[in-house]
Chain A
Amino acid sequence: MARSDVQLMLGVKAGDDTSFEVLLSRYRSPLVNFLYRMVRDRAAAEDLSQEVFLRVYRARREYAPSAKFTTWLFRIATNLALNAIRDTRHRQLESSLDETPAPGAEDAPPAMDVADRAPGAVERLMIAERAARIRRAVYALSAKQRAAVLLHKYQDLDYDEIARILDCSESALKSLLFRAYETLRAELAPLIGEGK
């Protein structure tokens, strides 16, 4: 039977490095993906993810299971992401979200040549463009709204847990999510219409 997060973290506290390895394998991918969708940069996402695990390890001696481990973990991650976004905000403002990204960039549609004019390639291109548009819409949200949506959608956390991570009341969190989804609904309306 798999050990719970609390049991594993208490193991880390007792000096069991194997417990830390299990936590790492359990939360490496969710953290990297959450941070990637927050900061939109793979290298930065990995760096921040490592920092999260480093801080968890650093705090192991003082760990007490007063809250859910995921609440603690994602609170560290969210704070690091919000700080990183604030620190690089001037660079974000310089790049226009409406411009077509250069080839090779994360959101760039794949380049097409003569050999790619097969139906499969066109379909792949459309899928990539849709993904780029969705990604841009998410990234256009405020940092806090983005964190709320990502935690709600991809981590499947309860509202009260997300509220604790974002340090707000549950009703404030629900209002934040409502406004975020309203914005996404407007931004992605053409794609929603295509799906009908």
Chain B
Amino acid sequence: MSCEKLETKLLGYVDGRISDAALYEVEAHLGACAACRERVAGFRAVRGLLDELPGIEASPAFDAGLRQRLAAESSRNWFAWLVPVPRLALALSFLLIAAVWIGSRPAYAPGSEMTPVAQKTEEEFRMIQDLPVLEDYDVLSNFEVLSQLPPARRNKQRDL
């Protein structure tokens, strides 16, 4: 076995986590290679030095801080069931706004095609507009005012 091939087995050897077959191969190589023997000794020493690093304890406020974050998480999520899918909620909002806007618009726009009922209503409205006399009830009490209508209107009045 070459030194390069030993790389993936060496730490397992140092850790004692190696198969019997691999152990035999590694020990055979170490018997013949001073550099790898030095490497193994160095790795064991490094593991010993890492043992010297002291650990730390979590601060007394750690658990309280975590509970606070958990509580904040829960309160943020109380309404989450209303909006399980934010994009769906956004699409529904647009639909609602569009429906309200369409509902608030007039039934027709000037110059657009009208229904027969709307057309009759429009004609009657124009007739009423052409009869300013109807705006003044005092005038109505005096039928003489009908003679003041323009000739075309007077004929229409006879038809009525």
Question: A residues within 8 Å of B by Cβ?
Answer: 24, 28-29, 32-33, 36-37, 42, 45-46, 49-50, 53-54, 57-58, 127, 130-131, 134-135, 138, 149, 152-154, 158-159, 171, 174-175, 177-178, 181-182, 184-185, 188-189, 191-192, 195
Minimum Cβ distance to chain A for residue B5 (Å) = 11
Nearest residue, chain B, Cβ from A58? B73
B43 and A181: CB pair below 8 A? yes
**Interface size class, chain B:** 20 to 34
Contacts of A177 in B (CB 8 A): 11
B7 at the interface (CB under 8 A from A): yes
B8 and A178: CB pair below 8 A? yes
> Given A24-B66, A185-B42, do A37 and B48 touch, yes or no (CB 8 Å)?
no
Contacts of A37 in B (CB 8 A): 53
A184 and B46: CB pair below 8 A? yes
A49 and B58: CB pair below 8 A? yes
Contacts of B66 in A (CB 8 A): 24, 50, 53-54
B57 at the interface (CB under 8 A from A): yes
Question: Which label, helix, strand, loop or mixed, suits the secondary structure of the A interface?
Answer: helix
B17 at the interface (CB under 8 A from A): yes
B56 and A33: CB pair below 8 A? yes
Please tell me which one of the listed residues A42, A50, A175, A192 contacts residue B46 in the complex, with CB atoms under 8 A apart: A192
Question: B residues within 8 Å of A by Cβ?
Answer: 7-12, 17, 39, 42-43, 45-50, 52-59, 62-63, 65-66, 69-70, 73
Contacts of B52 in A (CB 8 A): 127, 130-131, 134
> Given A33-B55, A50-B65, A50-B69, do A178 and B49 touch, yes or no (CB 8 Å)?
no
Minimum Cβ distance to chain B for residue A88 (Å) = 19
Contacts of A174 in B (CB 8 A): 7-9, 11-12
Please tell me which one of the listed residues A33, A130, A175, A195 contacts residue B45 in the complex, with CB atoms under 8 A apart: A195
Contacts of A127 in B (CB 8 A): 52
Please tell me which one of the listed residues B8, B46, B54, B65 contacts residue A46 in the complex, with CB atoms under 8 A apart: B65
A178 and B70: CB pair below 8 A? no
A32 and B56: CB pair below 8 A? yes
Contacts of A50 in B (CB 8 A): 62, 65-66, 69
B53 and A54: CB pair below 8 A? no
Contacts of A159 in B (CB 8 A): 12, 17
Minimum Cβ distance to chain A for residue B101 (Å) = 39
Minimum Cβ distance to chain B for residue A95 (Å) = 20
The 27 sampled A-B contact pairs (Cβ below 8 Å) are A24-B63, A28-B62, A29-B58, A32-B58, A32-B62, A37-B53, A42-B59, A46-B58, A50-B65, A50-B66, A53-B66, A131-B53, A131-B54, A134-B50, A134-B53, A152-B11, A153-B47, A159-B12, A174-B7, A174-B8, A178-B11, A181-B11, A184-B49, A191-B49, A192-B42, A195-B45, A195-B49
Contacts of A45 in B (CB 8 A): 56
